Amino acid sequence: MAVENDHDLLDAWLGEKQRRDERRRSQDPHVHRGLRFAFYGRMSTSEYQDRCSSRLWQLEVCERLVAGHGLVVAEFFDEGSSRRRRWLNRPEAARLLEASADPDRGFDAIVVGEYERAFCGRQFDELVPLLRAAGVQVWLPEVGGRVDLDDHDHRRLMTFLGAQSEREVIRARNRALAAMKAQAELGRYLGGRPPYGYMLVDGGPHPKRADARWGRRARKLAPDPRTAGHVRWMFARRLAGVSVAGIARELNERGVPCPSAADRERNRHRAGEGWSVQSVQTILENPRYTGRQVWNRVANDRDEVDLRTGRPGQVPNLPEDWAISLDVVHTPLVSMGDFTAAQQVRARRPNDGGDERRYLLSGRVACGVCGRRMDAHWVHGRPGYRCRHGYSSARPCPADGARPLYWREDRLLERIGSAATPDGSGPATAEGAAMAVSLGDEGIEVICDRDRVEVRRNSTHPDPYVPVGRHGRRKRA
């Protein structure tokens, strides 16, 4: 307690001394008042960098640069923002731009301690019109002071520095990705949130000797006794032919906590209200449950940020870009045979008489209105397909929203068969059925609109629609 009080007294004395020095400098008639500068700084990560030391060295460079020309009167410092992220997507940089547009902003120029702290690629050129309109200068150590926005040499230098900054990012990223891919194939756990059903346990000494000397330990995945059984149950139900929606409904009826509810500390950005079809589907499609380490299934898009959570956007990678360990490195929750079999299951739904309901086109029909996969739906005793465009009883469609789309399977088969004939005509229900059976193998997809059915052939990937959000799907470029 005495030590804490001593620290508090020392901090108070240092703060008072700094305020006295600032008042003395401001009252000194020999000090050149000059321009008022807004300092902008940035650090890439918050977990592996010290904010205090990073801010101080950047601010020190700025103060030396503007000495004799003015004083730093405002600070804007971004923490945990990649340089690739545009200024409008960085919290403090966006606040600085908003302040620059205010005639009563309280500063005349922006000063940065290092070009790479603020800009990458063509970002400086994007800001030039905004800064020129606001009458705000930019000072950089690379030019020894003010950047002349109308000087060709300065503009060429900014272009060169932007290219160098982007090149540095790309080189570092490629080296890191190559190293992480090699480590993942060897079975190393590379961090991140453990998947539902697993928890992190001690994995022995850290493989890097320097880290091991500091006492750092490796981590590995182990079954979570609270949730591992639910994962095994999900795979068992799927292999029994239960639909993904049916599994989600049963989990909610049993009161099983969903992933975000089971681990609130890591999922504070999610509601944790219950299981959804997407959450069950994600678990059933995750090969890490076979005991192998899998990395690079999803890429973080540092240029786009979710404004609700502040987290970078995510884009699914193609399976060919995944890194999968050669050996089993943690306890599997499902065998490889059962996992692959679960991916091939298509739910068969019994009707009131006990007969099974079969859908020849299940999972192969996409909505031409919103791009989602259409749900198999039994309509008046016949198989059919519908799309509610992301709306449900829990999320009703607004008055001006698109009406649900329905198609009977027999009429779809007629349209598909007609499209398959050389002259584009003919009944061809049988041909349509035969073609439907081969849809998955030949990479053909069916796009349905209100009054149109289009058959497309995709030879590069069986599923050109990839999920980008909870309620939507985006067509892969």
Q: Which of 41-50, 61-70, 465-474 has the lowest mean pLDDT?
A: 465-474
Average pLDDT rounded to a whole number, residues 293-307: 67
Distance of CA 126 to the CA centre of its chain: 24
Q: Which of 23-37, 84-98, 392-406, 448-462 has the lowest mean pLDDT?
A: 23-37
Tokens 């008055």 locate to 399
Average pLDDT rounded to a whole number, residues 330-340: 88
pLDDT at 434 over 70: no
Residue type, 69: H
Residue type, 132: R
The pLDDT score that the predictor gives to residue 303 is 56
Give the pLDDT band of residue 454 (cuts 50, 70, 90).
Answer: confident
DSSP states along 303-324: EEE-TTT-PEEEEEPPGGG-EE
The pLDDT score that the predictor gives to residue 418 is 65
> Mean pLDDT for the chain?
77
The pLDDT score that the predictor gives to residue 266 is 65
The pLDDT score that the predictor gives to residue 275 is 86
pLDDT tens figures, 77-110: 988 888 888 888 889 999 999 999 888 888 999 9
User: Angle between the 429-437 and 409-420 helix axes, to the nearest 10 degrees?
Assistant: 90
The pLDDT score that the predictor gives to residue 356 is 65
The pLDDT score that the predictor gives to residue 476 is 37
Strand partners, 112: 40
Instruction: Mark out the alpha helices in 67-190 (DSSP H runs).
Output: 91-100, 115-118, 123-134, 152-185
Give the pLDDT band of residue 170 (cuts 50, 70, 90).
Answer: confident
What is this structure's pTM? Answer: 0.53
Give the pLDDT band of residue 460 (cuts 50, 70, 90).
Answer: very low
Give the pLDDT band of residue 76 (cuts 50, 70, 90).
Answer: very high
The pLDDT score that the predictor gives to residue 39 is 92
Q: Which is more confident, 190 or 23?
A: 190
Sheet holding 453-457, edge to edge: 365-367, 444-448, 453-457
pLDDT tens figures, 185-237: 767 777 777 888 888 888 778 777 777 788 778 788 889 999 999 999 999 99
Q: Which is more confident, 463 or 371?
A: 371
Q: Which is more confident, 190 or 303?
A: 190
Give the pLDDT band of residue 7 (cuts 50, 70, 90).
Answer: low
The pLDDT score that the predictor gives to residue 331 is 87
Tokens 């240092």 locate to 14
pLDDT at 310 over 70: no
The pLDDT score that the predictor gives to residue 477 is 35
pLDDT at 427 over 70: no
The pLDDT score that the predictor gives to residue 309 is 52
**220-242 per-residue burial string, b: 16 or more CB within 10 A, e: under 16:** bbbbbeebbebbeebbebbeeeb
pLDDT tens figures, 347-365: 555 555 556 677 778 778 8
Query: Helix, strand, coil proportions of the chain in percent (round to 5)?
Result: 40, 20, 40
**CA–CA–CA angle 299, 303, 304 (5° rounding):** 80
User: Angle between the 228-239 and 336-344 helix axes, to the nearest 10 degrees?
Assistant: 50
What's the CA gap between 227 and 470, in Å, rounded? 23
Residue type, 412: L
Give the pLDDT band of residue 425 (cuts 50, 70, 90).
Answer: very low
Percentage, residues of the chain above pLDDT 70: 75
Give the pLDDT band of residue 457 (cuts 50, 70, 90).
Answer: low
